[in-house]
């Protein structure tokens, strides 16, 4: 295995992007109509193909580009191209400002598209989770579907003409390979229905602009199921404003919908086998996929996905991250039934190399190891990866209450044994010191279950605050803890998100806004660093 070379810019100033003279660069054709050498493809699949990293700063953010297959044309994202040079139709470019709430795209938005339009994997950390990100990735997704449809229709006409002239050769048939083993090409996953509604809204504006006549099927059903249901958190409720914004509107997290794109129509709620775009939440899709052990395990419609978009990935962490991982593991599996013309299927799809051609875009408000692990284990795009991260700011100046902090370090021989080592250290060095009024905060639900089972076996005095408990049980647990009937209170990070309160408020609802030095809660033990780093939430 060749070692990756890492080259990072040492300059503190932003590296200005280079304007590239206009030329015809078809990244769609260059990426998907290229057959990689079998040896190279197999190396890419197992992650052993040589790669190099190049970093630069621009617009206040750090860009790190991982280059894999270097024979691809014009893959340097610092060479700035116009939107027209990415093969986006004039209609979409004209309607882009309308989709972006009437505003022109900023330089930062266009810079993100420099990687997106080149079919490079992208991991974007954006603290504000701008709506323009949704506009950009929806435009990219729609353009990809339209390009695929245009290529298929063009090749059909070409083959028909050759057949009529009786001049069609095996080479002509081979050159017309433009499809996959299933129809769906784009998979968009977002945590709530309100975000899915925004995606469909942007798709409609991109296709029809200000046209009063829009051909969108089943809009009444769509608005009924995905529209704003009027839910709002009461203004008097003491939770951070960002939590109120997150949880307002239609926050149903179990949904899936197939979208078909025709020349002049947008078809909603079509069967997955007939869909071009699958718009869903991970749990909504997993309920359809099922488990491999189940009799009706469905995954054929995910065989030929070419673009995967994961929006608001940070929220998925607070729902159930395993659902998202399970969806990625279900992509590109051999279908049980093939209902397409094999002569039109791309060779790399038949060779089961679809994984290295798939582009993955992930957007989050913060950076955690789970996201990077997802790319490392499930994303081997031969075009490489671009990671976009904001500057890091410390939070020590945001600590309002002077607290005595202890940081414990434990040795780990192998990365795989980190969880076991952390657990062993905690029960041998931390737990024996826990006295009356101790809170144990556990970010991972799996770690929480393991520790809870241990405390039960040891007949420890404790109560639980977790996302699956009813409000009545949580109120009773708080009462027992603050009444000093129980020594320890255990809490999951997802329970904190569910309630929308800070740790002090969640554990101290009896005495509102209590601090760690108030009666009841005396000390806090964090089993790991909290996933969400927002100071206002702690």
Q: What is the pLDDT of residue 395?
A: 64
Q: What is the pLDDT of residue 499?
A: 67
The range of the structural domain enclosing residue 422 comes to 400-507
The DSSP bridge partners found for residue 359 are 307
End-to-end Cα, the chain, rounded Å? 43
Question: Where would I find the H helices in 338-438?
Answer: 347-350, 354-357, 369-378, 418-425
How far is Cα 4 from Cα 128, in angstroms, rounded to an integer? 32
- Looking at the fold, whether 384 and 417 belong to one and the same domain comes out as no
Q: What is the pLDDT of residue 18?
A: 63
Q: What is the pLDDT of residue 2?
A: 42
Q: What is the pLDDT of residue 7?
A: 42
Domain presence at residue 536: no
Is the Cβ–Cβ distance between 491 and 507 less than 8 Å?
A: yes
Q: What is the pLDDT of residue 11?
A: 40
Q: Which of 354, 389, 424 is the last residue of a domain?
A: 389
- What pTM, to 2 d.p., does this model score? 0.86
- SS3 per residue for 286-328: HHHHCCCCCCCCCCHHHCCCCEEEECCHHHHHHHCHHHHHHHH
Q: What is the CATH number of the domain that holds 112?
A: 3.40.50.300
Domain presence at residue 197: yes
DSSP-derived letter for residue 195 is H
Using the CB atoms, write b or e for 457-491: b if 16+ within 10 Å: eeebebbbbbbebeeeebeebbeebbeeebebbbb
For residue 124 the two structure tokens come to: 């974007």
- Looking at the fold, whether 326 and 446 belong to one and the same domain comes out as no
Count CA atoms closer than 13 A to 292's CA, side-chain side: 7
DSSP, collapsed to helix, strand or coil, labels residue 110 as helix
Question: Where would I find the H helices in 428-520?
Answer: 445-457, 471-482, 493-499, 503-507
Greatest CA separation found in the chain? 90
Please work out, in degrees rounded to the nearest 5, the angle formed at the alpha carbon of residue 125 by the alpha carbons of 277 and 362: 20
For residue 221 the two structure tokens come to: 């059903």
Q: In the chain, how many domains are there?
A: 2
DSSP, collapsed to helix, strand or coil, labels residue 487 as coil
DSSP, collapsed to helix, strand or coil, labels residue 139 as helix
DSSP-derived letter for residue 345 is B
- Looking at the fold, whether 316 and 348 belong to one and the same domain comes out as yes
How far is C-alpha 358 from the chain's CA centre?
Answer: 14
Neighbours of 303 (CB within 10 A): 22
Q: Per-block average pLDDT, block size 10, for the chain (538 residues)?
A: 41 54 78 93 90 87 88 81 90 92 85 93 88 93 96 94 90 92 96 97 94 90 94 80 86 96 93 96 93 75 97 90 94 88 93 96 93 94 93 69 80 85 92 91 88 94 88 88 90 77 53 42 84 63
Phi/psi at 427 (5° precision): -75, -20
For residue 447 the two structure tokens come to: 């770690």
Domain presence at residue 11: no
Q: What is the pLDDT of residue 398?
A: 64
- Looking at the fold, whether 327 and 449 belong to one and the same domain comes out as no
- Looking at the fold, whether 31 and 166 belong to one and the same domain comes out as yes
Q: What is the pLDDT of residue 74?
A: 77
> Hunting for tokens 């931390």 — which residue is that?
430
Packing angle between helix 219-226 and helix 193-208, nearest 10 degrees? 150
- Looking at the fold, whether 264 and 378 belong to one and the same domain comes out as yes
């Amino acid at each position: 295995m060749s070692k990756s070379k890492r080259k990072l810019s040492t300059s503190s100033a932003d590296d200005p992007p280079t304007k590239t003279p206009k030329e015809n660069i078809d990244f769609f054709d260059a990426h998907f109509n290229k057959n990689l050498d079998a040896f190279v493809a197999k190396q890419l699949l197992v992650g052993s193909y040589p790669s190099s990293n190049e970093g630069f700063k621009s617009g206040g953010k750090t860009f790190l580009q991982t280059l894999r297959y270097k024979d691809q044309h014009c893959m340097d994202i610092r060479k700035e191209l116009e939107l027209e040079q990415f093969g986006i139709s004039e209609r979409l470019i004209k309607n882009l400002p309308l989709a972006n709430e009437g505003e022109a795209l900023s330089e930062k938005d266009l810079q993100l598209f420099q990687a997106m339009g080149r079919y490079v994997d992208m991991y974007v950390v954006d603290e504000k989770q701008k709506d323009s990100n949704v506009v950009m990735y929806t435009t990219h997704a729609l353009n990809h579907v339209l390009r695929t449809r245009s290529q298929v229709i063009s090749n059909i006409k070409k083959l028909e003409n050759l057949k009529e002239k009786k001049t069609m050769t095996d080479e002509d048939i081979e050159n017309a390979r433009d499809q996959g083993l299933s129809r769906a090409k784009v998979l968009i996953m977002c945590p709530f229905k309100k975000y899915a509604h925004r995606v469909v809204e942007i798709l409609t504006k991109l296709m029809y602009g200000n046209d009063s006549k829009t051909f969108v099927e089943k809009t009444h059903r769509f608005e009924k199921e995905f529209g704003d249901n009027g839910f709002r958190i009461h203004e008097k409720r003491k939770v951070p404003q960002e939590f109120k914004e997150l949880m307002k509107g239609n926050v149903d997290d179990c949904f899936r919908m197939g979208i078909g794109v025709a020349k002049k129509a947008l078809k909603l709620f079509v069967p997955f086998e007939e869909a071009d775009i699958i718009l869903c939440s991970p749990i909504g899709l997993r309920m359809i996929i099922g488990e491999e052990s189940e009799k009706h395990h469905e995954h054929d419609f995910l065989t030929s996905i070419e673009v995967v978009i994961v929006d608001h990935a940070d929220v998925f962490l607070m729902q159930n991250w395993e659902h998202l991982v399970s969806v990625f593991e279900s992509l590109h599996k051999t279908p049980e039934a093939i209902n397409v013309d094999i002569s039109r299927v791309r060779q790399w799809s038949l060779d089961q190399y679809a994984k290295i051609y798939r582009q993955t875009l992930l957007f989050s408000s913060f950076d955690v190891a789970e996201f990077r692990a997802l790319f490392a284990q499930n994303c081997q795009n031969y075009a490489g990866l671009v990671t976009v991260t904001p500057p890091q700011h410390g939070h020590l100046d945001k600590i309002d209450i002077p607290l005595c902090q202890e940081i414990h370090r434990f040795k780990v021989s192998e990365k795989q044994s980190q969880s076991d080592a952390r657990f062993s250290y905690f029960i041998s060095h931390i737990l024996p010191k826990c006295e009356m009024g101790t809170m144990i905060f556990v970010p991972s639900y799996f770690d929480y279950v393991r520790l809870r089972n241990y405390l039960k076996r040891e007949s420890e005095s404790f109560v639980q605050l977790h996302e699956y408990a009813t409000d009545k049980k949580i109120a009773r647990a708080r009462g027992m803890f603050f009444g000093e009937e129980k020594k320890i209170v255990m809490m999951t990070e997802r329970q904190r998100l569910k309630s929308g309160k800070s740790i002090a408020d969640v554990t101290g609802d009896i005495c509102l806004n209590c601090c760690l030095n108030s009666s009841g809660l005396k000390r806090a033990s964090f089993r790991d660093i909290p996933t969400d780093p927002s100071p206002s939430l702690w």
